[in-house]
Amino acid sequence: MALSPVRRLVLETLWVLNKPVKATEVAAEVGLGFPSVMMHIIGLVKMGYAETVKKGHYVITEKGRKALGFPEIGKENAQQILAYLPLEKAFHFYADIGKPFGIHAASLGDFCDKILKVDIASIEFHLNRGDFEAWFAGLGDVELARKTLLLREQRVAGEQLRKKLHEIVMNRCEELAKIK
């Protein structure tokens, strides 16, 4: 069954938040009223795309992830995404075109650490160009690439951007480590 645009937005929000959330939190994120969001969550639960983990708290299911177009990540995929890379495949941070910082991330975990240390102008530069999305997709992590795209579309900047990007990548590293 195809998802309506609003139902897809609610499901994507459950996916982005990546933790058990109340319908009121989802409503605040998507900018819709609670009754409408609750109705869509109930529909998603009936479809098997979301589930209740404790009273009033919802999460996306594996079936929901598939409905959003994400491949299932197995042990081998998780290991590949988390693996250390040779220097030529590492992420290299730049201040601008032709202005490297001389800092690189050789793995997703290393990237998570470097995000906390690199100049915020570099993070904004790479996010706005779609460089992070491309690197994550190259690692084989379509989900992380999509979350980064959504972060870019929110037009977050400065230290708030650093914090959100770090949180997204750190949560993904933890999720993949559990699979690995």
pLDDT at 1: 60
Phi-psi region of 84 (alpha: psi -120 to 50; beta: other; left: phi over 0): beta
**91 shares a domain with 60:** no
Provide the percentage of residues in the chain whose pLDDT is more than 70: 99
**170 shares a domain with 96:** yes
pLDDT band at 33 (very low <50, low <70, confident <90, very high): very high
**111 shares a domain with 167:** yes
How far is the C-alpha of 141 from the C-alpha of 3, rounded, in Å?
Answer: 23
**55 shares a domain with 15:** yes
pLDDT of 65-103, one tens digit each?
999 988 888 899 999 999 999 999 999 999 999 999 999
Task: Supply the range of the domain harboring residue 12.
Answer: 5-67
How far is the C-alpha of 106 from the C-alpha of 86, rounded, in Å?
Answer: 7
**87 shares a domain with 62:** no
Nearest to 117 by CA among 129, 103, 100: 103
pLDDT of 121-178, one tens digit each?
999 999 999 999 999 999 999 999 999 998 898 888 999 999 999 999 999 999 999 9
How far is the C-alpha of 153 from the C-alpha of 9, rounded, in Å?
Answer: 14
DSSP conformational letter for 87: G
Average pLDDT along the chain: 93
